[in-house]
Structure 1
Amino acid sequence: MDVEAMDRRKSATKTQTEPLFHVAQKHAHPNPIPSLSPAFSTPVHPIRIAKSSESSKPSILPILLPPATLRPLAFRTLTKKHDLMLTSSALQAFATFIGKHCGSGWREEGLAEKVLDEAAKSWKRNGGGVILPGDGDELKSILRNMERSMSGGKPSQQGGLTGQGNFAFGNTVDSTDSITRPGASVREDSEASLGVSVLGVDDDGDNIGSEDPRRWLRIVGAFEQPRLTYNVNQKHFEAASTATSLLPDPSHKTHLFRHRYNLIHQRLLRNESFQSSSVPSARTRYLQRSSLKIATTQQAYNLTHIANLLGRSGSNHLLLGLLAISPSGVLTINDLTGSIAVNIQHARPVPEDGAWFTPGMIVLVDGVYEEEGSSTGHGLDGNRGVGGTVGGKFIAFSVGGPPCERREVTVGISGAGKDGHTSAGGGFGWVDFLGVGSERAAGSAMRKLETIVLKRDSSENPVQGRVRMVICGEVELENAKTLQALKRVLGLHAAEQACQTPMVVVLMGNFVRHAVMTGGSSGGSIEYKEYFDSLASILSDYPTMLQNTTFVFVPGDNDPWASAFSAGAATAIPRNRVPDIFTTRIKRAFATARAEAEKATGKKADGEAIWSTNPTRLTLFGPAQEVVFFRDDMSGRLRRNAVRFRPLQAEKEPISSIVPDQKMIGDAAAMEEGQELSESMEVDIAVETAESHVPTSVARESATSTGLSDLQTARKLVKTILDQGYLSPFPPSNRPVLWDYAGALQLYPLPTALVLMDPEAPPFAVTYEGCHVMNPGPLAPGGRKGVAQWMEYDARTRRGKTREIRF
C-alpha cells in the first residue's frame, strides 16, 4: 500500500509540474541583441524586454548601504547642485532609503542621484531652509511620499514628483516607443549610470553655455580609484575581491606582474599586426612600415610562450615578457610560463635610439632559441630548467616595446557623428575605470555637454580663459627665487578678469629641495610648516585667484611623511598627500577669500585647495577628458638602468671594409638612419604634426644640436612610458610600489593628457597616439636668473604650451 501511494503521489506531482515548465518555455524571451564584440567577450548590457501593463513591477533586492559610501554622491547632488547642507542624520536616512529601494544598482544605473535630486526639489518646493535635517518630519514626509511612487528603483512621475527636465540629450522615450523599441530604454538607463544630474545639469538647458567649466571638474586620488583586475577567462575587467592593505600577502606582488602582463598581452592580440588575415589591411602595412620592424616579412606576428621553446632549437620566435636580472647577474626574459636567458650581443633596439629598455619593462624580443649543450653554445647561467627556467639561451636580434593603443580603441569609440559627437563601439566601453562613469554609459552625453560649455565651434567664447590649466613644477618653497617666480605667475593671472582666470592651478613638488626630517638643510616638521605658511601669505595677496580657481597640490618624494623614512631615496608610490598638519594656514586663506567674496558680492565663491596624491588624475566632463599628473625623476632613472646595445657603427665597419665605394655606403647608411629616426614616431598621424613647445629663449637658438637633442629625448621618454602603459616600469628595488594600489599607475586606457614632471628632462609638449604629454620643468629653472617657466594646458584644444616670464 505504501508503494502504491508513493506512485500516485509521483504521478500527481508530474502532472502538476509539466504545465508549469511549458508555460515558462512559452514566455521565455531570448536575448534579442548579441554582444557588440563577441571576439573580445564584451559583456552584454542587460536588455529590458517590454512587458504588458499587467506585469508586476521589477523587484529590487535591498542592500546595506553605508552612509560614508553615499557621502560623495550626496555632496555633489545636494550641495554642489542644490546648495543644501546635509546633516549626518539626513545622510543616514538617505542611505537607508536608497539601500532599500534602489538596491545594488544605486550607483551604476544612476538610481541614487535621481532619488537625491527629487528629494532636494521637493524640499525646496516645500520652503525648506539651507540645512536639511534628518530628524525632522519634513524629510520623513518626503521619503514616505517618494516610497509610494518608487518603481524599479526610480521615483515615478505619477507620484507628483518632477521629471528629469528638458535637457535629456534627446534620449527620452514615451510609453509607446518603449514597446516598439526595446533598446530605447536601455540607452536611457545606460547614459544615466554617470547621470547628467551627478554633474549638476539643471532642468533648464538653455543657460548651460554660461556655466563655469569647473562645475564638471573632479580630482581622483590614487587611493580613490576603483581597483580593477583583468579576467583572462572572461576577457573583461572586474572589481578586485581582496581588501587593500599597505602590508599585503606576498602573492599580491605576483599578481601585480600578472596583471601588467595580461593587460599588454590582450592589447597585443587586439592589434591588427597580431591578427592573421588573408588580405592585409592598410593599418597592418602601416605598422609594419613604421613601428614594428621585428619581422617585416610576415603578415601577422605570432607570440611564443617561453615554455614552448623546449625542443625547438634553432627556430625563430617572438617572445613577450618581462626583462629581469637573474640572481647570477644574467639578463633574462620572463612570462607566465617560464624564464630564459637572453643574449643581446647582436640585438638592435626598435626603433633605433627611440626608446629605453630597462629591467622591469615588458618587451617584445625576436630571435633564435638555442638549447643547452648544442653546438652553437651553452646556457648562460648553467641552469637546466630548475624553477621554471628554460635551459639554453635566446639569441635576440630585435628588442622593441609593445605597440601602444589609442584611447578611442580601448574604450570603443567607433566614429564621429554629425555634431562632432562620438559613438561607442567595441572594446571596454562599459568599464568605469575612474568611478566617473563609463564611456558607453555617459560618453556621448558628456561630449555634447563639453561642446556646449566650451563652445568649440563658436567664434565668440566667453569662457576662453576658464578652460586653461596652469601647471607649475618643482615649487621649492624654501627657495626665494621660486617664491618670486610664483608671485609673478599668480600676479599675471590675477590681473585678468574674474571670468578669464584659469580653471585650475596645479603646484607640483618637490616642495622642498631635500627630504624632510632626515638631517638635511630642509630641517624638520616645524620648518616645513613654515614654508607652507609663507606660501599662504603669498596666496592671500591674490584673492581673485582663491575665489575662482581650484588649486591642486601634488607632492614629491621629498615631502612628508614618506621622505622621513626614505632619507632622500625613492619612496614607494603611489604616495599619499601632504598631511593636514602642514596645510592649515593655506586652508584658512581660501576660507577667508571666499567669505570676503560672499560678503562683497552676495554670491558664493567656490575656489578651493585640493591636496592630492602622486600620481593623481583630473577628469573633466566625466569620461570625456582625463589628465594624469605624476612627479618623478624618470629620465635619470631610465638612463641609469637602461640596457646598452652595441653601437650601430660597430656593425657597419666589417661591411664597409668589403664594399669598395666607402662614400656611397656612408651616405646610404646616414639616409637610412635618418629615415628610421623620422619614422619611429609616425605610429600616430598626430605625432607628425605635433609641436614641441620649447621656451622662447631656447627657440632663439634654432638649428642648434642641443635643441634637436632635447626634442629627441622628449620623444624617447614619451614613447617608452606610453608603450609600457605604466608609470613605473622599474624593478621594485629601484622604485618601490605599493602592490595593492599599483592600479593607480596604469595608463590604460591612455589619458587625454599626461603631465610628467621630471626636472632632469627638458620642458616639452609632445603628442603620441592621441595622448598629449607635457613636462613643465622647474618653476625657477637653474642657471637662468629671473625667469619663471610654467605650462598652460587648454582643455578646448587639448594641447599645452610652455610659457615663461621674467621677474
Structure 2
Amino acid sequence: MEEPISTPGLPARTFKAASDLRAEEQLLSSSPGFGTPAYPIQSRPTEIAKPFAAQLNTSATAHNAPTVLPILLPPQTLRPVAFRTLTKKHSLTLTSSGLGLLSTFIGKFCGSGWREEGLAERVLDEIAKAWKKCGGGLLVEDGPEQKLSNILKTLELCMSGGRLDTGKWSRSNSSVPSPNLSRAPSFSTSRPDANTDVSQSSLGLSALNVEDAAQRDRAVEEGQSQPDVRSYFKVISAFDQPRLVYSTSSKSLEPVKGTPSLLPPIQHKISMFRNRYHLVHQRLMRNESFQTPSFATTTQPPSLIRSASGMTTLQQAYKITPISNLLGRSGSSHLLLGMLVHSPAGDLSITDLSGSVVLDLSIARPVPEDGVWFCPGMIVLVEGTYEEDGSHNSNLGTAAGVGGQIKGTFVAHTMAGPPAERRALSLGISTGLDSGGHTNTSVGAGFGWVDFLGVGSEKALGTQMRRIQRRIFRPLATSETINLPDDDQIETEPPRRQIALLGECNLDSPRTLEAIRAILSSYSTSSSGHISDLPFSIVIMGNFVSAASMAGSSMGGGSIEYKEHFDALASILSEFPTLLANTTFVFVPGDNDPWASSFSAGASCMLPRLGVPEVFSSRVRRALTSANAEVHGSSKEKDVLKGESIWATNPARLSLFGPLEEIVLFRDDITSRFRRTAITFSKLPDADEEENEAAGADGQNQDHSQFDGEEMDLDQNPRKNLDKAVHTATSHVPVSHPSTPAPGPSSSTAPSIQAARKLIKTILDQSHLSPFPLSTRPQLWDHTAALSLYPLPTALALCDAEMPAFAMSYEGCHVMNVGRLVDEYSLRKGQAGGFGAAPRGSGVARWIEYDCRSRKGEERSLRF
C-alpha cells in the first residue's frame, strides 16, 4: 500500500475545524454513567474577526504589560505608609490583623515598586475609600463579616502590572457590599444614617436590630405600632460569651486563641489566675490613688486607712511592691497586691506573680471594719511591715527566693479589697449630656472598643443604641405634637420595661406552684387586655427541686419525678395564654438540677453549668407553642414577636440594647460560703470602741452622702462624675434605692442591710462571681470569662436563698438578691426569715421587679 504524498510548501494543519470541535464536544459530553448531570450541548456563536489594528493593539497591550514579581512584605515595613495614608489622610485606625492582610496583598500585586513608584499609597487610598463606602467603621480589620477581605478580592481583579486600573475599579466598586444593619426583616436598611458617625456602623452592627432614623419616623407618621423592646433583648449563654484575656504587652483585652475544652491542659489553669491578677492590677494602675505625681518629693509609708476624699495628695499615693522585692528589706513598710492562699505548711500566705510570703494577722484590721469578707482565693491589698527572721524557710518541696515562698513573715497592719471601678470608667466613656441633650460618649482610655458579650462594642454602638432606647422608653404627652426632633417619638401606649425575677422556685412544693399562679394572675389581671402592662421577660431561677435530683436520695427523686414537676408548671402556665404569647421566659438552674446534681449530690458543682436538658422541658415548650397559636394564630406579620422560653446557663447574661445594658443572672448560695471560709481578725484589746464607733458612723454618713450625690448628679456633669468616681481604698458603702420605703426607723443599721452591703462590696470589689479556690468552688478553666464582672454590669441579679431580698446600688451597679419565692422556713420555725427581716408567712410570695428604664429593682409581695 502506498503512503500518501504531502504537498510541499504547505505546513500541516494544526487547527481544527468547527465541525471537528462540535464532534469532540459531543464525544466528551456528560454521561449519567459517571454520575454527572446530562445537559444539552449548545452551539457556540461564531466569533467575528477583529480588525487588524485592534488585534495589534490587543497584542501590544498584552505584551507591554510589565510583569510583577511578588515579594514578601513584612507588616512593620508597610506600617509607616499605611499610617500616613489611612490614619492621617482618612482618619482610620489600622489593626494588626488588617495590616497583615494589606501587606500580603501589596507585596503580591505591587511587587518591589510599592515604595519607590508610590503604588502602595494609591492602592491604600482606594481601599480606604471603599472601606468608608461600605461602612466599615474607624477600625480597619477583617472581622466576622470579612469586609476587608471582600474589598481586596474585588481589588485583585483590577490590578494590572502593579497598578490599579481605575476604569475597572470604578465599575466594580459598586459591587462592594454595604453594611447590613439588621438581622430582622422588620428592621432592615441598606445604609447607615447619613447623620450617624462612621463608628456607629462598625464592630457588630449586623448582630443587632438597628433601624434608620428616617425610616422609623415614617413608621410613626403612618401610625404603625411601636417596636417591641424584645427586639433588642438577647440572652447570652456562658459558653457563647467571648473568651478574653488581658495582654500585658499591648495593654488591652484580646480574644483567646484555640477552641475551649472541658479537659484543658494544666497551663490553662495557671492562665486563669494570672488573668484575674492582671485585670485587678491594671484596674488599680488606672486609679488616681495609685498614680504617683512626677513632682513628688516627699514619701510616707502607705496606709489604707485614710479619709473618704477623692483627692490624691503626695502622701496618699500608693505604690505596690512585688513580693520578691521584699528580700533584704527587713523592717520596711510595703503595700502588697496578691491572692490569699494556704501555703503547703498550712499558713495563710499572700502570693503574686513573683513569689509568696507568710502573713501575720495578729494586729491586722480590715478596711472597712466588718464591711467585707476576706477568703482564700481573693485578691487583696495588704499594708504592713516585712520581718525577715528566718523562721519560715521553704519546706515541703517549695522553692525559696524569687518565684517561691520567701523567708520571714509579713506583719499585716491593714487589709482591704481592690477598689471597684465604674463601668463608664472601664469603657472609657462619659455619661454626661451635651448641649443637644444627647449622651456624649468620649473616646478616652478604656476598653470601649472591646466586644465583651458578642453583641458589639460600646463605642461602636453606644450612641445608636441610646437613640433607639430613648425612642422606646421616652414617653410623650400627646400624639399631636408638631416639629418633633429626631430623637422624639409619638407613643400610643406606655413602653414595656419590667423584668420579673422569681428565685428559688422549688416546683416540688405545692406552695411554690400556688405562688407562681398568683403572680402570673396578678400580671394578667392588671394588664386588662393591654400588653404594655405585662413584663417583657420573666426570669425563673432554681433550684427547681428542694433536694438534689437523680443523686440516689429519696427526697430528690429521679428523672420521672423531675419531669413531672415541670409538667405541673406547664399546666399553670397554660392558664395565661396572653402572657405566654407576649413574654420571654428565662429559666436559670441551680446546683440541685440535672445533670450536675447527679454526681454532686447537692454539693457545689462546676461553674459555669449548662441549663436544664430539653428532655425535661418539652411540656413547657409545648405550652408556649399552643399559646402563640391561640393568640397570634397564623399571623405572619414581621413586627409580631411571639413568646418563647430560654433555658439559660448559670450564670447567664441578659443584653438589652446591645452593649448598653448588661444584666447578670447568677444562682448560688454564696453568703454561706463566704461565712464558712472567711478570715477572722482578732480584736485589739487597747482599742477605744466608742471612738471607733463614732468615727465609723461619721465615715458611713460621709460615704452615704457622697454616694447619693453620685447617683443624683448622674448624667449632669461628666467631669464632676469622673472626679467622684475616682475610688479610694476606703470604698463607699452600698445604698438602697431612695424610693424604697424603709421598714422601720432603725433600718439603716438592720443586720439584713449590713449583710447585704457586705455581700455586694465583696463580690463587686473582686469583680468575680466565684472568688474561691477550686477546691471550694470548682470552675471550668476555659470558661471562666463568664464568671468575670469586669467591666461592672449595669445590674446583677443574685439568687441566694439564705439571704433576704434586697436591691441596692454600688459604684453604678444595681445589685439585687431575689431570695426565696416562698419562705417555708419561717412557717415551720415561727420566726423571722433571718437577719432581722420582716416575717414572711406561707401565704406571701415575694419577687423582684426590675425597671430597665430607671435601672432600679423593687421588691414586690403578694398574698395568695
The answer, yes or no, to whether TM exceeds 0.5 is yes
1:469 aligns with 2:499: yes
Match of 2:746, as an amino acid?
A
The alignment partner of 2:611 has SS state of coil
| Structure 2 partner of 1:122 | none
More helix, by proportion:
1
Contact 2:179 2:190 in 1 (8 A): no
Q: Deviations over 1:670-690 (max 9, x none)?
A: 311322444566774467777
Contact 1:763 1:776 in 2 (8 A): yes
1:542, 1:111 → 2: CA distance? 51
TM-score (norm 1): 0.75
State which of 648, 662, 667 in structure 2 corresponds to 1:612: 648
State which of 241, 245, 255 in structure 1 corresponds to 2:257: 241
**Gap change, CA 1:667 and 1:105, over 3 Å in 2:** closer
Instruction: Tell me the CA shift for residue 490 of structure 1.
Output: 0.6
| Structure 1 partner of 2:516 | 486
State which of 143, 148, 155 in structure 2 corresponds to 1:105: 143
**Gap change, CA 1:579 and 1:695, over 3 Å in 2:** farther
Q: Deviations over 1:321-374 (max 9, x none)?
A: 00011122100001001011000110000111111000000000000001133x
The alignment partner of 1:719 has SS state of helix
1:230 aligns with 2:287: no
Instruction: Tell me the CA shift for residue 189 of structure 1.
Output: 5.2
State which of 669, 692, 699 in structure 1 corresponds to 2:736: 692
Instruction: Tell me the CA shift for residue 105 of structure 1.
Output: 3.1
Contact 1:231 1:237 in 2 (8 A): yes
**Gap change, CA 1:165 and 1:35, over 3 Å in 2:** closer
Structure 1's unaligned 5+ residue stretches are: 1-12, 62-97, 113-146, 157-162, 173-186, 657-665
Contact 1:149 1:155 in 2 (8 A): no
Contact 1:330 1:380 in 2 (8 A): no
Instruction: Tell me the CA shift for residue 242 of structure 1.
Output: 2.7
Paired residues for 1:324-473 under 5 Å: 324-373=341-390, 385=400, 388-414=404-430, 415-417=432-434, 418-426=436-444, 427-455=446-474, 464=494, 466-473=496-503
| Structure 1 partner of 2:277 | 261
Match of 1:171, as an amino acid?
N
Paired residues for 1:672-687 under 5 Å: 672-679=695-702, 684-685=707-708
Q: Deviations over 1:757-794 (max 9, x none)?
A: 11111211110100000011111123212000000000
| Structure 2 partner of 1:142 | none
The alignment partner of 2:750 has SS state of helix
Match of 1:562, as an amino acid?
A
The alignment-based identity, stated in percent, is 43
1:629, 1:344 → 2: CA distance? 35
1:458, 1:42 → 2: CA distance? 47
1:703 aligns with 2:770: no
Q: Deviations over 1:372-393 (max 9, x none)?
A: 33xxx76698978266111111
Paired residues for 1:495-644 under 5 Å: 495=525, 496=527, 497-520=530-553, 521-599=555-633, 604-644=640-680
1:680, 1:342 → 2: CA distance? 30
1:362, 1:675 → 2: CA distance? 28
Contact 1:273 1:287 in 2 (8 A): no
The alignment partner of 1:424 has SS state of coil
The alignment partner of 2:736 has SS state of coil
| Structure 1 partner of 2:692 | 669
| Structure 2 partner of 1:10 | none
Instruction: Tell me the CA shift for residue 606 of structure 1.
Output: 1.2
**Gap change, CA 1:378 and 1:390, over 3 Å in 2:** closer
2:704, 2:366 → 1: CA distance? 14
Contact 2:505 2:542 in 1 (8 A): yes
Match of 1:624, as an amino acid?
L
**Gap change, CA 1:23 and 1:532, over 3 Å in 2:** closer
1:332, 1:683 → 2: CA distance? 35
The alignment partner of 1:564 has SS state of helix
Contact 1:447 1:624 in 2 (8 A): yes
**Gap change, CA 1:363 and 1:557, over 3 Å in 2:** same
Contact 1:288 1:296 in 2 (8 A): no
**Gap change, CA 1:357 and 1:451, over 3 Å in 2:** same
Structure 2's unaligned 5+ residue stretches are: 1-66, 72-76, 103-118, 151-170, 181-186, 297-301, 479-489, 713-733, 827-840
**Gap change, CA 1:231 and 1:505, over 3 Å in 2:** same
| Structure 1 partner of 2:761 | 719
2:417, 2:710 → 1: CA distance? 18
1:193, 1:23 → 2: CA distance? 25
| Structure 1 partner of 2:770 | 728
**Gap change, CA 1:60 and 1:563, over 3 Å in 2:** farther
Contact 1:686 1:770 in 2 (8 A): no
State which of 799, 802, 822 in structure 2 corresponds to 1:780: 822
The alignment partner of 1:211 has SS state of coil
Instruction: Tell me the CA shift for residue 296 of structure 1.
Output: 8.9
| Structure 2 partner of 1:83 | none
Cα RMSD for the two superposed structures: 4.1
1:35, 1:749 → 2: CA distance? 32
The alignment partner of 1:422 has SS state of coil
Contact 2:499 2:852 in 1 (8 A): yes
| Structure 2 partner of 1:651 | 686
Contact 1:167 1:205 in 2 (8 A): no
1:231, 1:570 → 2: CA distance? 32
1:789 aligns with 2:832: no
Match of 1:436, as an amino acid?
V
Q: Deviations over 1:675-732 (max 9, x none)?
A: 2444566774467777636999x95444269x61111111111010000000000111
Paired residues for 1:85-104 under 5 Å: 104=142
Match of 1:593, as an amino acid?
A
The alignment partner of 1:395 has SS state of strand
Contact 2:581 2:643 in 1 (8 A): yes
**Gap change, CA 1:796 and 1:59, over 3 Å in 2:** closer
2:775, 2:80 → 1: CA distance? 61
Q: Deviations over 1:509-551 (max 9, x none)?
A: 1000111111331200110000001111111101111111100
TM-score (norm 2): 0.70
Greater C-alpha Rg: 2
Match of 2:670, as an amino acid?
M
1:302 aligns with 2:319: yes
Contact 2:608 2:780 in 1 (8 A): yes
Instruction: Tell me the CA shift for residue 500 of structure 1.
Output: 1.9
Instruction: Tell me the CA shift for residue 480 of structure 1.
Output: 0.7
Contact 1:597 1:605 in 2 (8 A): no
2:544, 2:676 → 1: CA distance? 25
Q: Deviations over 1:564-588 (max 9, x none)?
A: 0101100010000100000111111
**Gap change, CA 1:704 and 1:428, over 3 Å in 2:** closer
1:588, 1:111 → 2: CA distance? 44
| Structure 2 partner of 1:663 | none
The alignment partner of 1:610 has SS state of strand
Contact 2:524 2:576 in 1 (8 A): yes
1:594, 1:303 → 2: CA distance? 59
Match of 1:423, as an amino acid?
T
Contact 1:684 1:770 in 2 (8 A): no
State which of 782, 786, 801 in structure 2 corresponds to 1:740: 782
Contact 1:683 1:769 in 2 (8 A): no
2:367, 2:309 → 1: CA distance? 7
Q: Deviations over 1:266-308 (max 9, x none)?
A: 000000000112689xxx9999522999x99823100000011
